[in-house]
Amino acid sequence: MKKLFILLVFLFCMNPCFAFDIVYPKKTMVNISADSSFFIGSVNPDEILKINGEEVKVHSGGGFAYPVKLNNGKNVFTVESESEKIVYIINRPIKTPQIEIVPFPFKEFTECKSFVISNENAPIRSTPVNNGINRLSHFQEDIPLLVDGEDREFYRVVLNDNTKAWVYKGDVKFTTADYCNYPATVNGYEHIEDNEYDTFIFNTDKKTPYVIKEGNPLTLTFYNVKNNGDLTYVFEFPVNKKIYGYSGKYDNDKFVLKVRKYPEIDKKMPLKDIKIAIDPGHGGNESGAIGCGGEKEKDINLAISLYLEEELKSRGAKVIMTRDDDRYLELYKRIETANNEDASILLSIHANALPDCLDPNKYRGTSIYYYYGQAKPLADSVLKSMVTNLGTVDDKVRQGSLALVRNTQAVSILIEVAYMINPVDITLLTDKCFQKNCARAIADGIENYLKQN
Tens of pLDDT, residues 406-430:
999 999 999 999 999 999 999 999 9
As annotated, the residues of the chain forming the CATH 2.30.30.40 domain(s) are 107-174
For 16-92, which CATH superfamily applies?
Immunoglobulins (2.60.40.10)
In the chain, the amino acid numbered 346 is L
pLDDT grade for 185, boundaries at 50, 70 and 90? very high
Q: Is 82:47 a contact under the CB 8 Å cutoff?
A: yes
Calculate mean pLDDT across residues 242-251.
96
The dihedral of CA 225, 228, 231, 234: what is its sign? negative
Number of CB atoms found within 10 A of residue 27's CB: 11
> Phi/psi at 390 (nearest 5 deg)?
-100, -20
How does 292-318 read in b/e, with b if 16+ C-beta sit within 10 Å?
bbebbbbbbbbbbbbbbbebbeebebb
Indicate if the pLDDT at residue 17 is higher than 60.
Answer: no
Of 230-234, 345-349, 447-451, which gets the smallest average pLDDT? 230-234
pLDDT grade for 181, boundaries at 50, 70 and 90? confident
184 DSSP 8-state letter: B
| Residue from 63, 110, 6, 73 nearest 424 by CA | 63
| Residue from 187, 132, 444 nearest 317 by CA | 444
DSSP lists the bridge partners of residue 174 as 115
CA 168 to chain centre: 21
Q: Over the chain, what is the mean pLDDT?
A: 93
pLDDT tens column, 369-408: 999 999 999 999 999 999 999 999 999 999 999 999 999 9
Locate the DSSP E strands across 118-266: 122-125, 135-139, 144-151, 154-160, 163-168, 172-174, 186-193, 197-204, 210-213, 218-223, 232-237, 246-251, 254-260
* Assigned CATH class of 107-174: mainly beta
pLDDT of residue 192: 97
pLDDT of residue 5: 45
Answer whether CATH 3.40.630.40 is correct for domain 275-451: yes
Q: How far apart are CA 129 and CA 298, in angstroms?
A: 31
Pairing of strands 366-370, 232-237: unpaired
pLDDT grade for 3, boundaries at 50, 70 and 90? very low
**Prior bond of 25 cis (ω within 30°):** yes
> Phi/psi at 132 (nearest 5 deg)?
95, -175
How many residues are present in the chain? 453
219 three-state secondary structure: strand
CA angle 255, 348, 264 (to 5 degrees): 60
Q: Is 282:313 a contact under the CB 8 Å cutoff?
A: no
DSSP lists the bridge partners of residue 81 as none
pLDDT grade for 19, boundaries at 50, 70 and 90? confident
Q: Is 368:413 a contact under the CB 8 Å cutoff?
A: yes
pLDDT tens column, 4-15: 444 444 334 444
> Phi/psi at 417 (nearest 5 deg)?
-65, -45
The dihedral of CA 396, 418, 280, 287: what is its sign? positive
102 DSSP 8-state letter: P
Pairing of strands 411-419, 345-352: parallel
- Taking every pair of Cα atoms in the chain, the longest distance, rounded to a whole number of angstroms, is 97
As annotated, the residues of the chain forming the CATH 2.60.40.10 domain(s) are 16-92
pLDDT tens column, 105-161: 889 999 999 999 999 999 999 999 998 999 999 999 999 999 999 999 999 999 988
Q: How far apart are CA 75 and CA 68, in angstroms?
A: 10
Calculate mean pLDDT across residues 272-284.
98
In the chain, the amino acid numbered 285 is N
* CATH architecture, range 186-260: Sandwich (2.60)
pLDDT of residue 230: 87
As annotated, the residues of the chain forming the CATH 3.40.630.40 domain(s) are 275-451
